[in-house]
Structure 1
Amino acid sequence: MEIKRIHISGFGKFSDFNLDFKNDLQVIYGQNEAGKSTLRQFITGILFGFAQNKRQSSNLYEPRNRSQYGGDLVFEQDGSLWDVSRLGRTQSKLEITDQNGNHVNNPEIFLTKLLSPFSQDSFEDIFSFDQEQLNEIRSLSGKELSDRLLSFSVVNADQWQSLSKELDKNASVMFGLTKTSKRPINQLLAEHQQISNQLNSMGGQLSDYRKSSQQKKSTLKRIAELDSQLHNLKKQMDEFSKLIELSGLFNRKERISMPKTNDRFSDQQISNLTDEIEQRVEKLQSQIKGINLDKSENKSTIIAENPLLTIYKNNRTDIDLLDKSIPNLIAENNLFDQNDNQIKNISSRLSELQNDLKTKFGDRIPRALPQGVSIQPSRSITVFFIIGIILMLLGVFGIVKGFQTPAFPYPFWICGAGVLFIGGLLSFFERPKKQSINLSQYGYSNQVSLDTIIDSQNHLQEYHQKIDQFQQLQNEKQSHLSKINSILKLANSLREFLPSAKQDHDALIDQIQVILNEIRDERQSAILSKEQKKLVDENRQQQIGHLQNLKSEQQQIFNYLKVDNYQNFQYLQAEKIKNKQRLNQLESINQLLTPEKENQIKELGGVEEITKKKQALKVRIDSIEGEIKQENQQLLNLNATLLNASSDTDYQTKLQQQSDLETDINNDLTEYFANKLAFSWINESLYQISHKRMPEIRSRAEQYFAELTENKYVSIIFGDNSLLVANQQNEKFYSYELSKGSSEQLYVSLRLAFAESVAEKNSLPFLIDDSFVNFDVERKSIMDNILHRLAEKYQIIYFTANPDQNFSQSNIINLGEAANA
């Protein structure tokens, strides 16, 4: 990533400020308070977001002239220019556009992915540093310095180190290594040991209790296994039910998909008849019909010789009515097929319900009870009802007494009314209920239990509803069939042109449509006025050539389609329409009947086999439910045995206390070991990641450090808790033993090496803010040369308050002059 240009709308001291950058080394010169640190924070804020409050940054860089907070930044990535705009501090609005002005959808995700894996903290730790961080290096201990270096070599390592310490602290608070420790887990273990000793001393019934407990566990395990089997069987039962519901579609698809037999035309002929060819033939036929070369008497003779026209003249009323009734005939036929499929589905469900209800009630299936009818015995007159009646009588007596005592009536009236009200309420709510209904009038036998009657109400209601639906669908089907037959009677005069073999309604309707189309065409060709015949006679010789050309072109198309004449072409058209209808039906069926469901039906042997398997599953489910009932009864017996075997209240209490303590210990130990394992895993992972990259980083840092110290120090050594350097005589020195300048140069070497190692995968700009003020002239010159070399591969933005003669004027931006421009 190379920053090309920035525009600051408002940030700190800058307002409506523009600045262009070079691609290699950009030195931004400015005196103190010129805004170098502000510019550096602006670049970081545009890329990663501005600080929202004082807790995130001590300086929020509010614009001094109340201009719009924020700005935009243009950078180049992989040869493309991108403009990143971020306006507003608390409710920042981010927009990203490419070099063509197109806006990027989800700009936050796009920018985060582009900067990945760096966050703002890791970017500032690796690519951005200043003199304050160099001054801090001398005050760090060996362990703190090691952690600081680790945070540079591993992205977000400081957050992982903080989390690791917190996990270790939490684990230490929970458990101590000594037995006398008073931490929570230690106290629970001591209390558990005390209760275990008490239980061992109580003894006696422990052996029987454990044996019954083991049997209880085995029974619970068996119940769980049976429940699992029952769940799987019910799931399979539901799948079979869904497949049976699709049976009608499956059978219809098989019928439609059956290969054609004794058809007049092949699939190739139908596929050759494109819409374009069809339109051309119709146009040619229309033109041919428009050219009439026959005499009127000859034409009338031809019409008379056509049998279809003869039948039409003799049965004009029926055939015209049949032609108008074709849409109704197709609609009634579709409704007939739909009712037929619904009847099959309901029949299957009725068979299941009938088998289930006959198992419970015998051959005679009773009726479902009406809604709200109670079959429980009624209550008799209760004591509270009698008390309520007595209180009502006393209340009436008190009111009458008040009338008899005119001098002081109010106490009697008030008490009488209160007692009357309470008695009325009590007698109302405790009144005798109506007797339950007579079950025999609904067909229930006295041998059937009330639980069975109650549990079967839903199935009984569904059974009788299905019977009503079945009868209703049968009536509708018969009605549709009657309407179909009444319409088909109109085609009796055309029977000699219809197939003699019995066909389904779909095929018969298609054939009738073909014949009606042919009659319509013959009628149109037969109706010619005298003026048209005269015109044909006058132009007959002129049109003979044109007619022959039209017929020749039409015959070529007929030869291509392998048909003899236009009539056969019309038959081919009808076959194409029929084929298209068949394909549309298949497409509609395929939308509901997926290939997966169809393969399941075929693999299971068809609908009849699925129904048999479903019935077999029902038997297995009933068997397993019976086993579960037996196991539950055995579990109740075992619970009673366990209760009797542990009749001593103190013994039961101790056992419960022991169980509760074990649960608490297991929960606390789980949390303790989870914290310890997470602590170890984080530390080991950070160690492995950092040391995998460390040899390469150390080699680069040694090169930079040797160059900066003019080969006085040639190697860097990472200890467990310290950092050492060695000179050419292999004399080793701790980092805190170095001079201030050398220690800063060591830190700069490590920072550059770390940043260069990371930048090879995702190159971000290096932001260096006056970090070399303590370098002498010679070492400052060496540092400038290093920056020049780095700038050949990465963008370096160097902020400084000191005029530097080692950089060309083309690389230097005077911030004061740029701000005043």
Structure 2
Amino acid sequence: MQIKRIEIAGFGQFVQQTFDFSAGLQVIYGENESGKSTLRAFILGMLFGFPTRRHLTARYEPKETTQYGGSMDLVVDGTTYRLTRLGDQPATLRNLTTQAEQPMSLLDHWLAPYDEMQYKQLFTFNQAELTALKTLSATDLNQQLQQVGTLGSAPWRATAAALRASADELYKPRGRKPELNQALQQYQAMTTQVAAARAQYPQYQQLQREIQQLQADQARQQRDLQATEQRQQTLANLRNQWPVYQQLQQLRPAAAAQPLSSAVVAQYEQLTQTQTELQHTLASARQQLTQQPVDTASQGVLGFYLQHQTEFTTLQGQLPQLQQALGQYQTLTQQVTTAQATYDQQTQAHPELVACLSPNKQAALDQLKTKLRAAATASTTAPGFTADWRLYAGGIGLVAGVVLPLGGFKWVLMLIGLGLLGWFGWNQLAVPNANNHDNLTDDLVAAGFAPNLDRTAALEKLDLVAALQRAQATITTAEQQAAAQASHVWQLLQAYDFAAAWIPVDQAQLVISVTRVTQFYEQIQQLQQTESMSGPDFAYAQRQVTQLTAQVREITDQLQQLAQSQQLADIDALAAAITQQAQQTANAASAEQLQRQLTAADQQALAQYTDITDLQAAIATQRQQQTTQQTQLTATTSALVTAQTQLQRLTEDGRYAELRQHQANQQTELTVMARQWVTRQLGAAWIDEALQTLTSQQLPAILTQATSYFAQLTRQRYNEISLDDDELVVHDAANLHFKLVELSTATKEQLYLALRLALIAKLGDQAQLPLMIDDGFVNFDDTRRQVAWQLLAKVAKQHQVLYFTNETAALTEMLATAVHHLT
């Protein structure tokens, strides 16, 4: 990949500025604050995306323009592409040869296998990053080399670090807070307590049983509470879904009417369209008719009729309905008169019962009727004669005394038999008569009757009152029906309000008003028959109106027949059925969409509730049950804690069995934690060893190349770089070993540069990406700086190198392909 051209719309101090680059070594020269670091940040942002607005400092927002970003032309495999990032707009990538848009994933493919962090670690650095080597340990430097040299190892290293941190949380050799350290301390204390508690055992058993029972109760209550919470959540979800379910129920069609066939609907639409066209033609003919001259004598009423012939024709078709409604009204009025006469006759025959019709008497009448019915039932079901043992014993004694030869004893038997028969007869005579002992005086007075009535007379009075009530109800019903019919007739007559000057109608005189309407049509018919016209146009117009009217009526009759063929009352019912069928079709489509939002289980659950109030009540009941269960669980938990506290005190006092159990539990816990600690340590060690193995396969070649570069940079003073027990060391010509801390700052930077260039030379073939260096050689002396520039020239044969500097010597001494000046 080579950067060919940069166009900056707005980034930092750059506004509408263009830079053209070529292959090889590019020198970008500029003094301090001329924009070198800004240009480097722009290139990084174009390749990997600009920082978000949460990192304003790193975004380099321009102060002189509202535009942000720009474009960059990239040459890949001989083809030029334009990468554009402007403001918050999505980034685009275009092939400048074909002008075809390319997916942004193509840019990721060019940069692979490097992300932004790995690119910065390998292909770009500045003097500050080189200077950081003086505070970088050999292990850290070696780790950086391994991270760059082993792509994709970062997640594995993070995993190893997490395993070690987790292991340290379990155990440290000299730690006190880690869990395993504390467990070991507790185990030692427990061992001491066990040794001192061997003599105490029986006192623990009862408390242990209580704890076991409480634990079982707690587990059961927790399960019940969890089930209740789940049901509560289910009900809450149902409450949220109720609006959808309610709308679905409303959209579901009532399975009643037989659906109309498509042929019927098509015929209806054709007839209504024909009817509409005929009505428009009829209206035009009537308009022409109103413009025809008539004689002066007929201008008034006939002229008014012709001006409103459309309305009158419609109303004339409704005249039979009006006359029929009037007839029904007159019939109902006659029924009111008849019912009133019947009621008056009954009240005149029994004026004393009028007061009983008061609503205040109804409760007393009902109570009296109930008592009379109960008394009648008791009198019909009470036995008139009941035989018992006295009758049988007395009869047997009397017969035995007469028949058997018992001497003087027979008189005793006869006297006993007569006594028993007399006793039985006296009780039978003492049975009260239900008809003569009913206490109804208070009830009769409360109902408005005379207090001395017997039960039969009271029942007759109640029947008369019931007859009066029925007559009164008949009058009320007839009056209501007559009033409703009068309202219907008046509603039909109100359609003639526009002709009040010619047809005055009055709500108080319905019969006269209907007669006036009928006479008006008769008058118009006579005038049309006798009127002398001024010319043949009127006759033609009149015939045309008549013919069109007949055609409209014929179409109307066909529509009526079509309605009746579908068992519908009239045309309006047919139109309503077609509209309803269309609405049902639309509702079915909407219902199908809503059906997808609710599962069958949800619908079945929601169907159990009549309305949202019922569902809310179920939620409230469930919530109350949840509160009760939580209270029970809290009480059980509290009791369990109390029992465990008592057990703990007994353990502290030295109860042997419990201490032994705790000791065994601690042994198990120690074994588990120890295994966890060993597993985590072994896992981290295995990851480190695997990464070290992978790195060691690449490091020899990298260190060989770095040694060559480092020897050139130091003019052969150091001729070898090696690893000594995971520590980076260098060797001079006398084969003396030097650690990093023993090198000067500049030499450390030269070592880091040699390592970077060696990594690029060995690993850079995986992606031919531009190399950017921002004032990286400030601490180099002139000789070593010259050698560094020569190394960059060599690297530039494989990678485009952008060298940002403020050194004037670089303008003349570097083997640069091009020099760019920043001002």
Q: TM-score, normalised by structure 1?
A: 0.45
Higher relative contact order (CA 8 A, sep 6+): 2
Q: TM-score, normalised by structure 2?
A: 0.45
Q: Point out the structure with max Rg over C-alpha.
A: 2
